[in-house]
Amino acid sequence: MSIPFRTFLFAASVLLAACASTGTYRNGVFEGADVVYRVEAPRGWTPLSFSGNDLAWGGPAGEVIAVNAECENHGDPSLPVLTNHLLIGFENRSVIEREELHLAGRGALRTRLSATLDGVPVVMELIVLKKDGCVYDLTYLASPARFDAQLPTYRRVVASFDVPGRR
């Protein structure tokens, strides 16, 4: 993977995690100041650490999977509004697919889109849900050439996600 794309993915991950909290992750459980959730780490991926980010992992060719929760100061916007908030800084956005689904016992919104950041193309899949006063987002980011290759890995992470309740 080229250095510019690796730099791009880092920048994109930081943007996507801009409103997240911090905490600990052990045995598939993330514990933050006021949130607890379960999510399986993608096998063979490298844990990434960004300031203010809950969880993120880097894939074999620079792909990124991130999971974040925000339990304060988000109001009660709709799932499309929350999704759009995650996309601040991305340009030339084009929604490829959008569907409502159920995750962790709640309605959620899955959005797949293409975009650019500083002129570099990317494809993303974002899932956003609200539960117990918190907003959760699960993000997969990759180059267009690599997106489909690791999508099943992201989908396994999503399938493992659960929120037992707020602290």
pLDDT digits (tens, 9 = 90+) for 3-56: 444 444 545 554 554 444 568 999 999 998 889 999 999 999 999 987 777 999
Residue 166 lies in a domain: no
Considering the entire predicted model, what is its pTM?
A: 0.87
Considering the domain boundaries, does residue 150 fall inside one? yes
Strands 91-103 and 120-131, by their bridges, are unpaired
**C-beta atoms surrounding 153 within 10 Å:** 19
| Percent of the chain whose predicted confidence (pLDDT) is above 70 | 84
- Residue burial 72-103, b: 16+ Cβ < 10 Å; e: rest: eeeeeeebeebbebbbeebeeeeeeeeeeeeb
Containing structural domain, residue 79: 3-160
Token pair, residue 2, equals 């080229």
Residue 124: partners with Cβ closer than 8 Å, 6 or more residues away: 111, 112, 113, 114, 115, 139, 140, 141, 142
- With respect to residue 129, please indicate whether it lies within any of the assigned structural domains: yes
Q: Cβ neighbours of residue 84 under 8 Å, at least 6 residues apart?
A: none
74 in a domain, yes or no?
yes
Specify which residues 70 forms β-bridges with: 135
Q: Give the model's pLDDT for residue 82.
A: 94
Q: Taking residues 148-156, report their average pLDDT.
A: 97
Q: What is the CATH number of the domain that holds 116?
A: 3.40.1000.10
Q: What is the pLDDT of residues 63-95, one digit of tens each?
A: 999 999 988 877 789 999 999 999 999 999 999
Q: 167 lies in a domain? A: no
d(CA 5, CA 15): 15
Host H or E run for residue 137: strand 134-142
- The count of domains in the chain is 1
Q: Residue 1: what pLDDT?
A: 45
Does the residue 165 lie in any domain? no
User: Could you tell me if residue 37 is inside a domain?
Assistant: yes
- With beta carbons less than 8 A apart as the criterion, state whether 21 and 54 touch: yes
